[in-house]
C-alpha cells in the first residue's frame, strides 16, 4: 500500500507537470492533458493526492507522514522555482541541481527512506538508504536531460528536444552556454525563447552542445552521482536486494528510454 501511495504522488506530479509544460506526450502516448484537457488532468492529479493521503493516514506512522509532507513541499517549491526561472539565463549549476533535487531526487529519497522505516532498520541504515535515493534521483534526471537530446522518440516516449522547446535550461545547455562565444550563446537563447524549435535550429543547438562536450559533461556528472549512490550501500551486507539496488543505479545511466 505504501508503494502504491508513493506511485500516486509520482503520477499526480506528472499529471500536473503536463499541464504546466503543455506537454502533449507522456511515455510515448497522448498525455492526459492532451486527451481530456487541463481540468481533468489537474483534478485527477488532486484525486491521487487525496487517495495517497488516505493510505498514509490509515497506516498511522507519523514519521512516514512527515517524510511524505516534506517531500511534497520541496517538490512544489522546486516546481515553482523552475517556472520562475523559465528561460532565465542567469541559472547556474547550483540552481539547476536545486530544481532537480526537488523535482526528482527527494521523491526517490523518500521512497527509500520509507522502505527503511517500514523495515525497522537502524538510523544509520535509514540515512544510507535515504542518501542512496537522493543520489540516484540526481543521476536519473541528468540521464533524462541527455536522452532529451540523443534518444529515439519511440523509446524515450517524448518529443526529442522537448526541454529546449519548453525553454528549460538543462545541464547540457548550461555547459554549452558557459563556454560558447557570443554568437553561439545567442543561437541557444533564441531557441529557448522561441517556444517552437524547427529541426534545423535544433540541430544548430545540438552542434553547439557537442562542440563543448555538454552531453559528456552531463554523463560524467551522472556517473559521479551513481557512484555516490552505490557507496551509500556499502554498510549493507551482500544480498539479492542490495544487488538489485546496485543494478538499478547502473541502469539509470545506461537506459535509452
Do residue 240 and residue 114 come from a single domain?
yes
Average pLDDT over residues 151-163: 66
Average pLDDT over residues 165-173: 87
| 158 within 8 A of 149, measured Cβ to Cβ | no
Do residue 131 and residue 40 come from a single domain?
no
Print the SS3 string covering the chain: CHHHHHHHHHHHHHHHHHHHHCCCEECCEECHHHHHCHHHHHHHHHHHHHHHHHHHHHHCCHHHHHHHHHHHHHHHHHHHHHHHCCCCCCCCHHHHHHHHHHHHHHHHHHHHHHHHHHHCCCHHHHHHHHHHHHHHHHHHHHHHHHHHHHCCHHHHCCCCCHHHHCCCCCHHHHHHHHHCCHHHHHHHHHHHHHCCCCHHHHHHHHHHHHHCCHHHHHHHHHHHHHHHHHHCCCCCCCCHHHHHHHHHHHHHHHCCC
Predicted confidence at residue 152, as pLDDT, reads 67
Does position 40 have pLDDT exceeding 60, yes or no? yes
Do residue 159 and residue 210 come from a single domain?
yes
Do residue 204 and residue 107 come from a single domain?
yes
15, 31, 60: which is the final residue of a domain?
Answer: 60
| 158 confidence band (pLDDT: 50, 70, 90) | low
Q: Which domain holds residue 129?
A: 81-254
Average pLDDT over residues 118-123: 94
Predicted confidence at residue 32, as pLDDT, reads 81
Do residue 185 and residue 221 come from a single domain?
yes
Do residue 19 and residue 89 come from a single domain?
no
Predicted confidence at residue 159, as pLDDT, reads 65
Predicted confidence at residue 227, as pLDDT, reads 98
Predicted confidence at residue 25, as pLDDT, reads 66
Predicted confidence at residue 246, as pLDDT, reads 97
Instruction: Please check whether residue 65 lies inside any domain of the structure.
Output: no
Q: How many domains does the chain have?
A: 2
Instruction: Please check whether residue 168 lies inside any domain of the structure.
Output: yes
Does position 172 have pLDDT exceeding 80, yes or no? yes
Do residue 105 and residue 3 come from a single domain?
no
Share of residues in the chain with pLDDT > 70 (%): 94
Instruction: Please check whether residue 75 lies inside any domain of the structure.
Output: no
Specify the higher pLDDT residue, 25 or 170. 170
- pLDDT tens profile 178-236: 999 999 999 999 888 876 667 788 889 999 999 999 999 999 999 999 999 999 999 99
Does position 88 have pLDDT exceeding 60, yes or no? yes
Average pLDDT over residues 131-154: 90
Do residue 234 and residue 140 come from a single domain?
yes
Average pLDDT over residues 19-37: 76
| 173 confidence band (pLDDT: 50, 70, 90) | very high
Name the residue with cell 517538490.
75
Of 110-119, 145-154, 175-184, where does mean pLDDT reach its minimum?
A: 145-154
Do residue 50 and residue 131 come from a single domain?
no
Does position 79 have pLDDT exceeding 70, yes or no? yes
Do residue 136 and residue 56 come from a single domain?
no
Instruction: Please check whether residue 125 lies inside any domain of the structure.
Output: yes
- pLDDT tens profile 48-67: 989 999 999 999 889 999 99
- Average model confidence (pLDDT) across the chain: 90
| 164 within 8 A of 206, measured Cβ to Cβ | no
Instruction: Please check whether residue 130 lies inside any domain of the structure.
Output: yes
Predicted confidence at residue 161, as pLDDT, reads 75
Instruction: Please check whether residue 206 lies inside any domain of the structure.
Output: yes
Predicted confidence at residue 175, as pLDDT, reads 95
Amino acid at each position: 500500500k505504501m508503494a502504491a501511495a508513493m506511485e500516486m504522488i509520482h503520477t499526480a506530479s506528472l499529471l500536473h507537470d503536463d499541464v504546466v509544460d503543455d506537454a502533449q506526450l507522456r511515455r510515448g502516448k497522448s498525455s492526459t492533458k492532451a486527451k481530456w484537457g487541463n481540468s481533468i488532468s489537474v483534478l485527477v492529479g488532486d484525486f491521487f493526492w487525496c487517495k495517497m493521503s488516505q493510505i498514509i493516514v490509515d497506516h498511522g506512522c507519523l514519521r512516514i507522514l512527515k517524510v511524505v509532507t516534506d517531500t511534497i513541499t520541496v517538490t512544489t517549491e522546486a516546481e515553482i522555482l523552475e517556472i520562475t526561472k523559465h528561460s532565465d539565463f542567469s541559472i547556474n549549476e547550483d540552481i539547476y541541481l536545486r530544481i532537480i533535487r526537488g523535482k526528482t531526487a527527494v521523491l526517490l529519497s523518500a521512497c527509500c527512506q520509507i522502505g527503511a522505516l517500514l523495515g525497522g532498520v537502524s538510523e544509520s541504515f535509514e540515512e544510507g538508504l535515504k542518501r542512496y535515493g537522493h543520489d540516484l534521483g540526481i543521476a536519473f534526471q541528468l540521464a533524462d536531460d541527455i536522452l532529451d537530446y540523443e534518444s529515439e522518440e519511440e523509446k524515450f516516449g517524448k518529443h526529442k528536444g522537448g526541454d529546449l522547446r519548453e525553454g528549460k535550461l538543462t545541464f547540457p545547455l548550461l555547459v554549452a552556454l558557459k563556454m560558447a562565444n557570443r554568437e553561439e550563446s545567442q543561437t541557444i537563447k533564441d531557441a529557448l525563447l522561441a517556444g517552437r524549435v524547427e529541426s534545423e535550429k535544433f540541430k544548430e543547438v545540438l552542434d553547439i552542445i557537442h562542440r563543448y562536450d555538454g552531453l559528456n559533461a552531463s554523463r560524467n556528472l551522472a556517473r559521479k552521482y551513481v557512484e555516490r549512490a552505490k557507496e551509500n550501500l556499502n554498510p549493507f551486507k551482500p544480498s539479492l536486494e542490495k544487488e538489485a539496488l546496485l543494478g538499478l543505479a547502473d541502469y539509470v545511466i545506461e537506459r535509452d528510454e
